[in-house]
Amino acid sequence: AHTLADSIGGTFKRLQFTPDLLPSDIIGYNLYRQHNGGFDFIAGPVFSNLLLADEINRASPRTQSALLESMNERQVSIDGETRALPEPFLVVATQNDTSATGTFPLPEPQLDRFLLSIPMSLPREEIQLDILKFHANRRSPADPADHRDA
């Protein structure tokens, strides 16, 4: 996802979705400044060209709805004010199996906002063993065998 953002000359943000994540953690908030009696807008990670929403279905439906407006309208509404998102705006997301503990189903309108859904599964046992053998035989860059005294 980061490479994709770089390839379009855009900004990249990653957001880990958790059950305690709030909508303001995604879209941002207005912060009161006592010294001047005004508010400053603190932009959330949605104000990027590419947002990686990791484990998107761990967030509550209320929090997911904040992301839905961003994906649908390319804007967010904060304290009655609408703010446009940068162009282009893309969301790449991962989600856990819906049978996993602590997950919430994604609403149908949000699922419709994704162009692709690619189910992933573990590789077959023999492929897993090949992967383990490959990594077991690799030496790290700091391997002492590479720095023998002559």
**Model confidence pLDDT, tens digit, residues 50-104:** 999 999 888 888 888 888 888 889 999 888 899 999 999 999 998 887 777 778 8
Helices (H), the chain: 2-7, 23-27, 61-73, 108-111, 125-137
For residue 140, the model assigns a pLDDT of: 60
Determine how many CB atoms are found less than 10 A away from the CB of residue 122.
Answer: 7
Distance CA 102, CA 104 (A): 7
At 104, which amino acid appears?
F
DSSP-based three-state secondary structure for 24: helix
Which tokens sit at 26? 């995604």
For residue 9, the model assigns a pLDDT of: 84
Helix (H) or strand (E) segment spanning residue 76 = strand 75-78
Percent of the chain with pLDDT over 90: 40
